[in-house]
C-alpha cells in the first residue's frame, strides 16, 4: 500500500467528514429556527395576578414544555408601540385602557409534538386562546426528517464508495504479492493468517489517512468559519445561531475519521485479498 | 497414502478431465506419473492438493477424505503435503533461508525449531553457502533445490513434484530426481509428474501413464538398462 492508497482513502474520508459537518450545521440551523418557535397562551381577563404562579406551574408540569415566561399586557403594548413608532400617538390613547390580554410565552422541547401540547394548553380553565405556528412546525419536522434520511443515505453511499475505491486501490498491492499468497495456501496457511498482514497494513493506512483528513478538515473548516463569523450581521439578519465551531466537535471528528479510516482501510484490504485466496 | 477410486473430475458439465481413475499409492512409494499434454496430469495434482474437487468417486490422501473435507480443514490437510512446481514459485523478495522458513512460520512453529529445521533441509539440498542469496542470484537448478527444501521443511508425508525438472538442464534433472529418490528412501512418499521419459527410464520405479483422464499403464519398471517392452508402453 502506498501513497496512492493513502491519498484515495484521505479524499474518501474528507468527503465523509465534509458531508457530516454539512449535516451537523444544517441540524443546528434547523434547531435554532425551531428554538425561535414559541407558543403564546393568552389568559382570560378573569385571571388575577394571584392566580398566575399556579397557572405557570400547571403549564410547566406539562410534558414537552421547555420554558414558560409571563408576558404582561403592558409589556405587550409597549412592544407593539415600539414596532409602530409612527403611530405612537394613536396608541397613547389606549395606554390607560389596554385591550391586549395577559399571556405566557412558552417554548417547547419537541416541535413535532406541538399539536398535542397546544391541545393540552387549550384544556386549561385560564386559557383564552393559544397561538401556535403548527403548520410551520409540521414543515420543520418534515424537513428534519428529510435531512436526517438524506444524510444517512449520503454517508452510507460515501462509505460504500470509499470501500470500493480503497479495495480497488489495494488490489494492486495484493496482486503484487499474489505469488506469496498462492504459496502460503499450498503450504497450509489459513485464510486469516494470510489476511493478517494485509489487515494491519490497511488498518494503519486508514489510521494515517484519518489523521491527514482531520488536519485538512481542521484548517479548511476553521478558515471558512473565520470568514463566515466575521460577517455576524448576516447571521443576525437570518435570525439563526452561528455555525458549529470546530473546537466543539474536534474530538468527535477525530474519532469519526480514525474509526472510519481504520475500518475502511482494513476491510478494503481484506476484500481485495479474497480473490487470491481461492486456491 | 493416496487412494483414488473411480474418481471423476469435470471443469465443465459433461466433459470429464479425469475419468473414473483408480490409483493406490502406498506410504513410502516413489511414483512417476507421465502422460501427454492435456492427459489430466495437472488436474490429478490439483485433485491431490484439494485445489479441484472430484465429481464422483473416493479421494483419500494422507488419511483425509478430500470429498468430504471441510474448507476450514484444508490448511491442516495441506500441511501434510510438500509441493514442488516446475516454475519453482519462490518469493523473489526473500532470501533462500526466508523462503524456506516462511513455511514453518505459516504453521506457527517455534523460532528455535525453524532455525534448526531450515538449516538442516538447506544442508540436505546442499545450499549451505547460499542461505542469504536471493532467488534471482541462483541458477535454475539451485532454485529448484530451494523449492525442494521448502517442500521438505515441514516433514511432509507426501511430496508432490509437478514437472520439477521442466526448467533445468538434463544433468541437473538427474540431480533433482536423485534428490527426490534420496528423500523417498528416508520414508517420504513421492509422486512426480513428468514428461521426460529418459528420466523415468534412467531411475525406474512405479510408473503410471495417463491418457485422456484414464490410467492406461500402471506398473513398476526397472531403471536404466531395463527392457524395451516398458519403453514402448511409455
Q: What is the CA radius of gyration of chain A?
A: 30
Chain B: give the shortest CA distance to residue A186, in Å. Answer: 6
- Cell reading at A22: 454539512
End-to-end CA distance of chain A: 23
Q: Distance (Å, rounded) from C-alpha B57 to C-alpha B51?
A: 16
Q: Find the chain B residues whose C-beta atoms sit closer than 8 A to any C-beta of A.
A: 49, 51, 75-79, 83, 89, 91, 102-103, 106-107, 150, 154
Angle between helices A3-35 and A246-274 (to 10 degrees): 140
Angle between helices A191-229 and A178-186 (to 10 degrees): 140
Evaluate whether B8 touches B18 at the Cβ level (below 8 Å).
Answer: yes
Q: What is the mean pLDDT of residues A248-271?
A: 88
- Cell reading at B195: 514428461
User: Could you name the CATH architecture of A38-132?
Assistant: 2-Layer Sandwich (3.30)
Residues 6+ apart with CB under 8 A from A46: A126
Question: Which pLDDT score, from 0 to 100, does residue B171 have?
Answer: 80
Answer whether A182 sits within 8 Å of B154, measured CB to CB.
no
Evaluate whether A155 touches A19 at the Cβ level (below 8 Å).
Answer: yes
**For B22-47, what is each residue's pLDDT tens digit?**
999 999 999 999 988 888 888 999 99
Best to test chain B binding among A176, A183, A197 (most B CBs inside 10 Å): A183
* Residues of B in Cβ contact (< 8 Å) with A189: 75, 106-107
Q: Distance (Å, rounded) from C-alpha B174 to C-alpha B151?
A: 18
Q: What is the mean pLDDT of residues A107-133?
A: 87
Evaluate whether A166 touches A175 at the Cβ level (below 8 Å).
Answer: no
* Residues of A in Cβ contact (< 8 Å) with B89: 179, 182-183, 186
| Residue A193 in contact with partner chain B when CB distance is under 8 A | yes
Question: Which pLDDT score, from 0 to 100, does residue B159 have?
Answer: 95
Q: Distance (Å, rounded) from C-alpha A143 to C-alpha A264?
A: 31
| Residue A224 in contact with partner chain B when CB distance is under 8 A | no
Interface of A with B in 161-190 (CB under 8 A): 179-180, 182-190
Nearest of B45, B51, B14, B1 to residue B210 by alpha carbon: B45
Answer whether B75 sits within 8 Å of A179, measured CB to CB.
no
Nearest of B202, B211, B208, B164 to residue B183 by alpha carbon: B164
Percent of chain B that is helix, strand, coil (3-state, to 5):
40, 25, 35
Closest in A179, A183, A188 to B75, CB measured: A188
**Domain boundaries of chain A, sorted by first residue:** 3-33+138-277, 38-132
The highest-confidence range among A167-171, B9-13, B130-134, by mean pLDDT, is B130-134
Cα–Cα separations (whole angstroms), residue B73 to A194, A259, B78: 15, 34, 9
Closest in B89, B106, B150 to A188, CB measured: B106
Q: What is the CA radius of gyration of chain B?
A: 18
Q: How many residues does chain A have?
A: 279
pLDDT at A136 over 60: yes
Q: Distance (Å, rounded) from C-alpha A16 to C-alpha A28?
A: 18
pLDDT at B149 over 90: yes
Answer whether B75 sits within 8 Å of A183, measured CB to CB.
no
Angle between helices B111-124 and B96-106 (to 10 degrees): 130
Among A6-10, A134-138, A202-206, B15-19, whose mean pLDDT is lowest?
A: A134-138
- Cell reading at A28: 443546528
Answer whether B106 sits within 8 Å of A279, measured CB to CB.
no
Evaluate whether B118 touches B104 at the Cβ level (below 8 Å).
Answer: yes
Q: Distance (Å, rounded) from C-alpha B18 to C-alpha B41?
A: 9
Q: Distance (Å, rounded) from C-alpha A158 to C-alpha A4?
A: 19
Q: How many residues does chain B have?
A: 234
- Cell reading at A81: 408601540
Mean pLDDT estimate for chain A: 83
Burial class of residue A62 (count of CB atoms within 10 Å of its CB; 0-12, 13-18, 19+): middle
Best to test chain A binding among B92, B106, B118, B162 (most A CBs inside 10 Å): B106
Closest in A182, A184, A279 to B106, CB measured: A184
Answer whether B89 sits within 8 Å of A182, measured CB to CB.
yes
Q: What is the mean pLDDT of residues A178-201?
A: 85
Amino acid at each position: 500500500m502506498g501513497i496512492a492508497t493513502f491519498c484515495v482513502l484521505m479524499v474518501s474520508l474528507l468527503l465523509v467528514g465534509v458531508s457530516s459537518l454539512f449535516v451537523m450545521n444544517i441540524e443546528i440551523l434547523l434547531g435554532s429556527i425551531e428554538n425561535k418557535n414559541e407558543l403564546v397562551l393568552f389568559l382570560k381577563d378573569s385571571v388575577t395576578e394571584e392566580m398566575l404562579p399556579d397557572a405557570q406551574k400547571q403549564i410547566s408540569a406539562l410534558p414537552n414544555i421547555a420554558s414558560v415566561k409571563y408576558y404582561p399586557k403592558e409589556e405587550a403594548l409597549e412592544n407593539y408601540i415600539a414596532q409602530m413608532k409612527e403611530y405612537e400617538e394613536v396608541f397613547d390613547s389606549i395606554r390607560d385602557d389596554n385591550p391586549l390580554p395577559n399571556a405566557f410565552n412558552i417554548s417547547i422541547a419537541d416541535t413535532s409534538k406541538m399539536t398535542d401540547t397546544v391541545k393540552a394548553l387549550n384544556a386549561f380553565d385560564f386559557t383564552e386562546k393559544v397561538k401556535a405556528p403548527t403548520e410551520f412546525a409540521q414543515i420543520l419536522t418534515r424537513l428534519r426528517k428529510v435531512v436526517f434520511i438524506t444524510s444517512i443515505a449520503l454517508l452510507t453511499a460515501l462509505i460504500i464508495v470509499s470501500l470500493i475505491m480503497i479495495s480497488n486501490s489495494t488490489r494492486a498491492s495484493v496482486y503484487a504479492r499474489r505469488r506469496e499468497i498462492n504459496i502460503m495456501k499450498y503450504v497450509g496457511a489459513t485464510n486469516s493468517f494470510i489476511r493478517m498482514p494485509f489487515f494491519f497494513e490497511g488498518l494503519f493506512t486508514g489510521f494515517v489517512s484519518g489523521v491527514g483528513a482531520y488536519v485538512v478538515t481542521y484548517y479548511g473548516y476553521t478558515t471558512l468559519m473565520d470568514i463566515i463569523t466575521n460577517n455576524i450581521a448576516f447571521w443576525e439578519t437570518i435570525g439563526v445561531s452561528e455555525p458549529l465551531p470546530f473546537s466543539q466537535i474536534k474530538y468527535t471528528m477525530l474519532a469519526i475519521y480514525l474509526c472510519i479510516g481504520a475500518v475502511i482501510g482494513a476491510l478494503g484490504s481484506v476484500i481485495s485479498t479474497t480473490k487470491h485466496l481461492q486456491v | 497414502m493416496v487412494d483414488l477410486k473411480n474418481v471423476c473430475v469435470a471443469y465443465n458439465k459433461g466433459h470429464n478431465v479425469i475419468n473414473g481413475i483408480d490409483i493406490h499409492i502406498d506410504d513410502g512409494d516413489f511414483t512417476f506419473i507421465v502422460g501427454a499434454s492435456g492427459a489430466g496430469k495437472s488436474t490429478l495434482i490439483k485433485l491431490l492438493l484439494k485445489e479441484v474437487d472430484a465429481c464422483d468417486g473416493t479421494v483419500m490422501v494422507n488419511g483425509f477424505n478430500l470429498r468430504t473435507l471441510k474448507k476450514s480443514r484444508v490448511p491442516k490437510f495441506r500441511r501434510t503435503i510438500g509441493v514442488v512446481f516446475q516454475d519453482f514459485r519462490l518469493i523473489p523478495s526473500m532470501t533462500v533461508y526466508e523462503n524456506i522458513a516462511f513455511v514453518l512460520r505459516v504453521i506457527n512453529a517455534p523460532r528455535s525449531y525453524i532455525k534448526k529445521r531450515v538449516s538442516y533441509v538447506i544442508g540436505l539440498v546442499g545450499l549451505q553457502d547460499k542461505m542469504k542469496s536471493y532467488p534471482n542470484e541462483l541458477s535454475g537448478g539451485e532454485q529448484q533445490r530451494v523449492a525442494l527444501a521448502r517442500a521438505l521443511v515441514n516433514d511432509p508425508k507426501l511430496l508432490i513434484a509437478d514437472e520439477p525438472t521442466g526448467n533445468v538442464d538434463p544433468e541437473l534433472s538427474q540431480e533433482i530426481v536423485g534428490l527426490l529418490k534420496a528423500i523417498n528412501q528416508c520414508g517420504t512418499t513421492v509422486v512426480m509428474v513428468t514428461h521426460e521419459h529418459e528420466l523415468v527410464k534412467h531411475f525406474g520405479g512405479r510408473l503410471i501413464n495417463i491418457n485422456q483422464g484414464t490410467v492406461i499403464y500402471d506398473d513398476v519398471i526397472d531403471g536404466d538398462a531395463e527392457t524395451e517392452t516398458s519403453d514402448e508402453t511409455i
